Structure formats: structure tokens, C-alpha cells
Structure 1
Amino acid sequence: MTIKDVEQQLGVPRATIRFYEKEKLISPIRGSNGYRDYSADDVSRLKEIILLRKIGLSVNDVEDILDGARTLTEVLEENINKLQTQMEELNGAIVLTKKIQDDSLDTNRLDIDKYWNILEDEERKGGKFMDIAKDIVRTEKRVVFSFMGWTDRDGNLYNSASDIGKFCGLVILIACIYCVVRNEWSAKNFVFGMSGVLVLIAVEGIISIPLYFLSKKSEWVKENRIKALIISMGIVAAVFVVAAMILN
């Protein structure tokens, strides 16, 4: 069965099918012509995946079920609790939204104090509203990733195929430069050059974590991340050199 046949049978776009393939939730075989050939089992698994996703399970939840990492009963119980929490939050938000709408039919102004008091009263009674703590988590995560240099200027993670390709190309280039400097083209020198870059990146990531928390207290560290990073890496390198000398 071709992907077009699966699209028509299940009523989902091929991009969705490709996504589940990328996540390794399904693995259709390739025919002699090089095209994917979807079996009845593949279609049945796709139906299961789509069904579980539509009732609110995450891709990770679905993967756990298919791999047997967690039982269906366990995951469904967690999903029910999550959906009930969401319903409570949404019901509280809907009630207050309708009240604000009814009271503001003749004006575009919002009586903040009035509805703030209503919100507090409803929460004291056990009413549920949207959890704004998630906004803090998302914002803090973006700040951390930005501080560590893992995002572009718009705050998006470097995770596209182009970004990964550029990074791999840079690592290979540095490995080649190392071979030229050593004047010996060998697998050992090439791998050593690549591993050196990866080690530096790992060290930078480790050092960046305490620097991030330090930047909350030190304005200089916050405004001079690169300088602070270079100084920190220099100190770490000096410590390793001294330790090596002592051990020798």
C-alpha cells in the first residue's frame, strides 16, 4: 500500500504519517522500487497511534505503550487525570469569560479590580483556572537556552537540519585543520580533532550552568557572558594542568 492509499484510507495528511515514521512509531518496509510499502499491520498501528493522540496522549506516551515501557491502563489513568484538570481550568475560565463579556457589552473597558476579586473568590472556593506557572517555565527555559548559546536571536532552538549540518561541517573542518597542523592525515588525528571540539562544547555547557545562576546575582556576568565563559574555561584548564603536573 502506498502512502497515498494510507492518506485516503485514514484521512490524514502524509506529513503526519511521515512524522510518526520519523519518531519510529511505525517502520514500513521499502519495496524493490525504493518506495515505502505500508502493510495492513502498519495501517492498524497508525490507527492506534492516531486514536491515542486524539484522546490527548503525547507522542512519548504512545511510544511507551507501543514499546511496552508502560501499560495502557497506567497511561490512560494519567491521561484521565490530566484531562480532568484541564476541564476544571477551562470551565473556570469559561465562566469568568462569559461574566466579563456580559458585563462589558456596552464598553471596551475592563474593571480590573472587580474581576480580580471575583477570580480570587472563585479560587478560594476551589475553582480552577489556567496554570500560569507554565508561562514561567517556558520563559525560563528560553532564557537558559539563550544564555547558553543554544538559540538564535529570535529565541528559537538550533535544531533544524541546516543548523545540524553547519555544526557537523564545522566539526569536520576543525578536524581537517588539526590534521594539517599535525602534517599527518590519519584516522587517529581526525578523530582526535573532532573529539577535541566535542569536549570543548561539553565543557562550555557544563560551565554555562553555574554561570547562568551567577548571572542572576552579578550584572557583569550577565552582560559579559563570553568573557566570563573564557575566564572560567581558562581557570578549569589551569586546574587540569596543575593537577596533571602534581600527578606526574
Structure 2
Amino acid sequence: MKIKQVEELVGITSKNIRFYESQGLLTPERADNGYREYHQDNIEVLKKIKLLRKIGISVEDIKSVLNDNVTLENCLEKYLDVLEKQKSNLTKMYNLTEEIINQKCELNNLKTDEWLEKMENMEKEGIDFVNISKIDIHMKKKMGAIIGGAVMIVFMIFLIGMFLWGNSVDPIPLGLLIVLVAIPVVIIVCIIGVLIGRIREIDGGEEDEAAKY
């Protein structure tokens, strides 16, 4: 079975499948031509990986379970401790937000220094607030992809305009004109498709997610 078939069957992108291979979670066979060949046991492993990643288990911990270095039960118990901490964090952030609301504050009279100091003290106690830098990185990646795609699309539209203008000045055979215009149009469609895929990848890319662990 080829990687595209596996992608459709399991619902994991080929990029993520290769990422799992690079991390030692999956070892497909190689055919005589050098291409990866996936079998049913690889499919089952990928389904297990998908399940555990959706729960939130780290790639490193999944690898330990697959290599029998730790039992699934111990892995999940360890993750429960992580969830318990997250639950505590959310409760305290909820209480802090509620406290700000109860102060009846507007933006112009919000005591930012006072609240920031309180948050810093909470962070010293182990509370994790939203990591702004990671959000900014994702936004920069999105903007970079969008700007790059937009520049290419504008360039293709410019080419189409040049072809049409040139044809109005010095007409060429209709068939040739259609081909010349169709090429940039196809490229534009491909750029849009790639751009949509890239944005989805940035929003939920496994490699970015796995880097947290």
C-alpha cells in the first residue's frame, strides 16, 4: 500500500506519516524500487498513534509505549497528572478572569500593572498562561504563506493581462492564446490549493504540535 492510500485510509497526512517515521514510531518496508510499502500492521500502528495524539499524548511517550519501554497504563496515568495540572491552570485563569469582570473595569481604567503583577506571581507558583510567542509564530507563518501566494497570483494575473494586451495589438491564433492564458490560470488554481493546504497545516501541523514535547 502506498503512502497516499494510507493517508486516505487513516486520515493522517503524508507529511505527518513521514514525521512519525523520522521519530522512529513507524518502520514501513521498502519495495525493490525504493518506495515505502505499508502493510496492515503499519495501518494499525498509525491508528493507535492517531488515537493517542488526539488525546494529547506526546510523540516521545507514544514511542516509549510502542517500544515496550513503558506500559500504556503507566503512560496514561502520567498524562492524567498533566491534565490535572492543566485543569488547575484553567480553574485559576477562570477565577482571575472572573475577578477582573467583577471589578467592573473598562479598558481605559484597567489596572494593568496590578493584574500583570498578580499574573507573574501566579506564574511563579506554576500557572501557565497563554504562550503569546507561539501564537505570533503561527500568525507569521500564515501571513508569510498568504503574502507569498498573493504575490504569485498577482504575477500570473499580470501575465494574463500581458497576453491579452499583446493579442489585441498583434493577434495570434486563438488556440495559442487559449493555451497561453490557460497556463497561468492553472497555476493560480494550484497556488490557491497549496495555500489552503499550507494554512490548514499551520493551524494543526503535527510537527509544530510535536515540538512542544
| TM-score of the pair, normalised by structure 2 | 0.51
Question: Which whole-Å CA distance do the structure 2 matches of 1:85 and 1:63 have between them?
Answer: 23
Match of 1:129? 127
Letter in 2 for 1:129: I
- 1:109 deviates by 4.4
- 1:95 deviates by 3.0
Question: Which whole-Å CA distance do the structure 1 matches of 2:67 and 2:10 have between them?
Answer: 23
Question: Which whole-Å CA distance do the structure 2 matches of 1:26 and 1:119 have between them?
Answer: 42
Question: Which whole-Å CA distance do the structure 2 matches of 1:99 and 1:74 have between them?
Answer: 38
Secondary structure of the corresponding residue to residue 130 of structure 1:
coil
Question: Which whole-Å CA distance do the structure 1 matches of 2:104 and 2:7 have between them?
Answer: 46
Letter in 1 for 2:4: K
Q: Structure 1 104/17 Cα, relative in aligned 2: closer, same or farther at 3 Å?
A: farther
Question: Which whole-Å CA distance do the structure 1 matches of 2:127 and 2:19 have between them?
Answer: 33
CA contact (8 A) 1:64 1:70 kept: yes
Q: Structure 1 117/37 Cα, relative in aligned 2: closer, same or farther at 3 Å?
A: closer
Match of 2:41? 41
- 1:77 deviates by 0.6
- Note the residue ranges of structure 2 that are not aligned, 5 or more in a row: 132-213
Question: Which whole-Å CA distance do the structure 2 matches of 1:120 and 1:34 have between them?
Answer: 54
Match of 1:13? 13
RMSD: 3.2
Secondary structure of the corresponding residue to residue 107 of structure 2:
coil
Q: Structure 1 63/117 Cα, relative in aligned 2: closer, same or farther at 3 Å?
A: closer
Letter in 2 for 1:70: V
- Note the residue ranges of structure 1 that are not aligned, 5 or more in a row: 135-248
Match of 2:152? none
- 1:129 deviates by 3.0
Q: Structure 1 37/120 Cα, relative in aligned 2: closer, same or farther at 3 Å?
A: closer
CA contact (8 A) 1:88 1:128 kept: no
Match of 2:57? 57
- 1:82 deviates by 0.9
- 1:113 deviates by 6.1
Letter in 2 for 1:35: Y
Number of residue pairs matched by the alignment: 129
- 1:102 deviates by 6.5
- 1:114 deviates by 5.4
Q: Structure 1 20/104 Cα, relative in aligned 2: closer, same or farther at 3 Å?
A: farther
Matches within 5 A, 1:1-248: 1-100=1-100, 103=103, 106-112=106-112, 115=115, 129-130=127-128
- 1:42 deviates by 0.2
Q: Which segment is superposed worse, 73-82 or 87-96?
A: 87-96
Question: Which whole-Å CA distance do the structure 2 matches of 1:24 and 1:115 have between them?
Answer: 45
Letter in 2 for 1:50: K
Question: Which whole-Å CA distance do the structure 1 matches of 2:129 and 2:120 have between them?
Answer: 14
Question: Which whole-Å CA distance do the structure 2 matches of 1:48 and 1:97 have between them?
Answer: 38
Q: Which segment is superposed worse, 96-105 or 57-66?
A: 96-105
Give CA-to-partner distance per residue, 1:134-162, whole Å, 9 cap, x none.
9xxxxxxxxxxxxxxxxxxxxxxxxxxxx
Q: Which segment is superposed worse, 3-12 or 96-105?
A: 96-105
- 1:94 deviates by 2.8
| TM-score of the pair, normalised by structure 1 | 0.45
- 1:98 deviates by 4.4
Question: Which whole-Å CA distance do the structure 2 matches of 1:73 and 1:97 have between them?
Answer: 36
Question: Which whole-Å CA distance do the structure 1 matches of 2:102 and 2:22 have between them?
Answer: 48
Secondary structure of the corresponding residue to residue 27 of structure 2:
coil
